[in-house]
Amino acid sequence: MTTYAQSPATAGITVVREPGKPALVHTPAFDTMAEAAAWLSAQLPAVQAELHRSGAVMLRGLPVTDTETFAEARDALIAQRAGYKEKATPRSDFGEGVFSSTDLPAAQAIRLHNENSYTLDFPGVLLFGCVVAPETGGATTVGDMRKALAMLPQDLVDRFAEAGWLLVRNYSDLAGMPWRKAFSSDEPAGAEEYCDAHAIGYEWLDEDTLRTRQRRSAIITHPVTGERSWFNHFAFWNARSLDEDVREVLTETFGEDGLPFDTRLGDGTALTDAEVDAINDVYQAVTLRETWQAGDLMLVDNILCAHGRESYTGDRKIVVAMGEPVRLSDCSPTTAPSTTLYGR
């Protein structure tokens, strides 16, 4: 374990680093959340400096006991809330911009990904909070995407830098996310209007099934630190990354073109299994994990750091708030967003 004394950038906090774990800050003990929020506000510059250094910072020792006290901590750490667009995972909405991290089953692990990497604006910061710690497992995993970019095969990096990545989604009531929920609209015209405004190509397969295509940059530059980062859902949603049995059932049911999510290189090229595996191997290599304790917070820079979830047992209530929205256009994308397979 390495403990870093205060520096000019992080005066007021002491950061503990251990191999395989995110940066950890033990906070003073507070009797009330109001006192804790005041301390968080005073230490915000130091926390932000560490966030830019490490990509993720866990804060331990705060009196976060429910969604209300979590929201107080959020307001001390995040100046501007960010919305959840083009929804892709089931979440419970607790109000005031506080959500469950995900409502996917406990047995299902979630791979590393950057929140809303497929949208034209996305949260710059995520704040996770532990209201109820799981019995076993259930860590919110994180991984530095600056390191991931440096570790990926250079030929793959060059291809993604030139072509970007393509996301194909099929919205239906049978699998994945229904389009009404994803686009927060009950009318097809509302979904179409959103797609037209956000560089998303679309086609209606029937009145309840919508297929969309969007090309996005796979590599972007952090607008504050100036560092390049691997920022996409390519491997996360690639059919190769599905459990083999799940992939077989989905393909037999919906066909290869009907999967809820699938990805390609931005020019429409499918990567080989070995190439997708190489990306997932890098994600695994950079993964950090720390067991949740009740009251913990974890602040994540969504550009510098990806996040995921381990499977777990027992009750688990991890909440999340999103903030400090960032526009893709402010991140020097290597490819321009477009609506079709080949960017026309």
Token pair of 336, please? Answer: 């321009």
Which of 27-41, 88-102, 151-165 has the least mean pLDDT? 88-102
> Mean pLDDT over residues 151-164, rounded?
98
Residue in the block written with tokens 């910072």: 57
Q: Which regions of 18-109 does DSSP assign to beta strands (E)? A: 23-26, 56-60, 93-95, 98-100
Q: Which one has a higher pLDDT value, 99 or 4?
A: 99
Q: Which residue from 148, 189, 165, 162 is spatially nearest to 306, judged by alpha carbons?
A: 148
Q: Which residue from 68, 70, 48, 81 is spatially nearest to 322, judged by alpha carbons?
A: 81
pLDDT at 286: 99
DSSP per-residue string spanning 144-186: EHHHHHHHS-HHHHHHHHHH-EEEEEEE-SSSS--HHHHTT-S
pLDDT at 11: 56
C-alpha span between 118 and 292 (Å, rounded): 28
pLDDT at 341: 52
> Mean pLDDT over residues 94-122, rounded?
93
pLDDT tens string 77-103:
999 999 888 888 888 889 899 999 988
Which domains does the chain possess? 2-104+122-135+291-302+312-325 (3.60.130.10)
Q: Which one has a higher pLDDT value, 173 or 61?
A: 61
Query: Which H, E and C letters describe 254-285, residue by residue?
Result: HCHHHCCEEEEECCCCCCCHHHHHHHHHHHHH
C-alpha span between 224 and 221 (Å, rounded): 9
Which of 20-24, 132-136, 253-257, 329-333 has the least mean pLDDT? 253-257
pLDDT at 244: 87
> Mean pLDDT over residues 132-159, rounded?
98
Q: What is the mean pLDDT of the chain?
A: 93
pLDDT at 87: 86
Checking if the pLDDT of 2 tops 90, the result is no
pLDDT tens string 239-294:
999 888 888 888 888 888 889 999 999 999 999 999 999 999 999 999 999 999 99
Confidence of residue 172 (pLDDT cuts 50, 70, 90): confident
